[in-house]
Amino acid sequence: MLLNFFVTIFMGAIFTLLLVSPGIRIAVRYRLLDHPFSAPHKTHQNTVPKAGGLAIFFAVFLVTVIGGKFAAPEVLSILLASAVIFIFGLWDDAKGLSAGWKLTGQMLAASVLLWQGIQIRMFVSAPLLNLTVTCFWIVGITNAFNLVDSMDSLAVGLAAIASVFFLFVTVDSNEMNLAFLSAVLLGSCIGMFFFNAPPARTFLGDSGAQFLGFMLATIAMAYTPQGFVQTSSWFVPILLLSVPILDTALVIISRTRQGLPFYKAGQDHLYHRLTQLGLSPVQSVTLMHVAALLTGCLAFITLPLPPLWANMIFGLTALGGLFFIFWLEKNRKPNETG
């Protein structure tokens, strides 16, 4: 079984590597390009094609078909929903969509999952609340990865780290379809890293960042720990995706205090705050990746603990993240706006 997952990871990486070059040619031909200084938050020096989404999306689909998993109802439903996210993201890369249209695409994708019965089921006697939380989670994590994609290799690295941990927990819970998707997503992120590491030869674009966020949000939502009570395991996906969540919370709190729309791009993300504190770009990205590794390990530590201890640790972690946000806000430079 272990060998099968290594093969899946390897195939995901190889297919992504093979698809990046034709993806770049397609991006150049159809003007899917990110121009330097075209917006206040864009600081790259050269025009970069937004081909990462093309490579990752088609690599995941091809490996799924070759691996014989495409016919599995759960996998097919997730990939069909992710296709909606990818199409709207590609449309955004090409034309630039309003926040309303982006939300429409994300809600359509969430509706596909709900239609197939893939949803959060935390509240037994409140099905409407389950639907609401499902949509909020899908939209929130999808956008969190899009927002955190503010520096070369940052979002790809965070997605790879999350995929590793989701691979472990889904194998442990014997959810092999979700484990397969985690493995192929990990492989695709590894392949993309070679092209997205600084200086990036291609960007993920909205299509790539949203696809990664949506896939991880869906795997997290569909994951059901075996042998652990829900009261000590419900927050595991939150810990595994804590860095993008922290970044989004920082942006929302900061811009709300300034009276600015939180969905606009800006230089007030966690990465930018770290560089403004004196860290180099590489140090800032590395620190965020290390934080993701540590919170992932923390999720494993808390999973088998009694509910009281597990929830106390999660609560203290969340409180620490909140204190960190307000510390960053306190040390925010006067000209640092969204």
Residue 284 lies in a domain: yes
Whole-number mean pLDDT of the chain? 92
Residue 270 lies in a domain: yes
Residue 182 lies in a domain: yes
Cross-strand pairs, 34: 48
143 lies in which domain range? Answer: 2-330
Query: Distance between alpha carbon 315 and the CA centroid of its chain, in Å?
Result: 22
Contacts of 323 (CB under 8 A, 6+ apart): none
Instruction: Give the closest residue to 78 by CA, choosing from 90, 86, 66.
Output: 86
Residue 47 lies in a domain: yes
pLDDT at 51 (0 to 100): 97
Residue 336 lies in a domain: no
Choose between 181 and 1: higher pLDDT. Answer: 181
Residue 337 lies in a domain: no
Residues 44, 36: Cα–Cα separation, whole Å: 5
Task: Give the number of domains in the chain.
Answer: 1
Residues 92, 97: Cα–Cα separation, whole Å: 5
Quote the DSSP letter at residue 99. Answer: H
pLDDT at 253 (0 to 100): 92
pLDDT classification of 231: cutoffs 50, 70, 90: low
Residue 120 lies in a domain: yes
pLDDT at 2 (0 to 100): 80
Residue 103 lies in a domain: yes
